Amino acid sequence: MTTRVLLVDDQPLLRLGFRMVLESQHDMTVVGEAGDGADAVGMAGGLEPDVVLMDVRMPVMDGIEATRRIVDAGIDSRVLILTTFDLDEYAYAALRAGASGFLLKDVPPTDLLSGIRAVATGDAVVAPSVTRRLLDVFAHQLPDPGHPDRSVPAVVDPRMARLTERERGVLHEVAAARSNAEIAQRLVLSEATVKTHVGRILTKLELRDRVQAAVFAYEVGLVRPSRQPPGQDRKQR
């Protein structure tokens, strides 16, 4: 099956580069290009691409607002944010707006193609440099069930009862930002089995993708917040 991609970036040369990379693949085709977020929203509604490869900083309307409008309009397209800037506020805003992924423009072509394929199949992908910071910062805003002196209890969600013990284990690994391959190795499963479990987890919990699943795991207390202060790992990059 061919993945149909809409390219959104205000720099024509970058769009040309992305087009060349994508159309070198037998399973991808570029259905359109937009130079700003407003055009992207209109073209997404008309072309209904599988994936919208979206820049952040653009004239007329930025990529975050364009993503929000595409998602709110119920357009059956998934948005993969691609930006030059490794800034947490962009990543958080993009994911809150409904993006299914966040990658940097200096990502290797193979990783970009893998990310597009993952998003097209309903998965989510976030740049490794952002993933741990995202979870750690979010986790520090949530109650920790391991500390009863906290005034706000963990969220009680009846959807957790729908999961089997194995699915809970897989969800725990997803919340730790591990890939299917890593989860398979840790739990001694095949990647295909892990993918099946992840799909069932998302269905049972009524979630869109792995990012939402990770946030859910923190909310219900399945994963405890890291004790490392937010932003500490920036010195290590």
pLDDT in tens, 27-51: 999 999 999 999 999 999 999 999 9
Buried b (16+ CB within 10 A) or exposed e, 19-28: eebbeeeeeb
CA 164, distance to chain mean position in Å, is 24
Cα separation, 92 vs 96, whole angstroms: 6
The tokens describing 96, both together, are 């809150």
- What is the edge-to-edge ordering of all strands in the sheet holding 28-34? 28-34, 3-8, 51-54, 78-83, 101-104, 125-126
pLDDT for the residue 206:
87
Q: At what angle do helices 37-47 and 63-72 cross, to 10 degrees?
A: 30
Backbone phi and psi for residue 39, each to the nearest 5 degrees, phi listed first: -65, -35
Do 3-126 and 139-236 share a fold? no
pLDDT in tens, 61-79: 999 999 999 999 988 899 9
Q: pLDDT > 70: what percent of the chain?
A: 80
Topology annotation, domain 139-236 = Arc Repressor Mutant, subunit A (1.10.10)
Q: For residue 162, which of 117, 229, 100, 207 has the smallest C-alpha distance?
A: 207
Q: Domain ranges for the chain, please list them.
A: 3-126, 139-236
Averaged pLDDT for residues 209-217: 78
Cα separation, 63 vs 95, whole angstroms: 12
Q: Which amino acid is at 51?
A: V
pLDDT in tens, 139-150: 555 444 444 444
Centre a 10 Å sphere on the Cβ of residue 206 and count the other Cβ atoms it contains: 10
Cα separation, 44 vs 80, whole angstroms: 13
pLDDT in tens, 69-113: 999 998 889 999 988 765 656 777 787 788 888 888 888 899 899
Report the chain's mean pLDDT, rounded to a whole number.
81
CATH code at 3-126: 3.40.50.2300
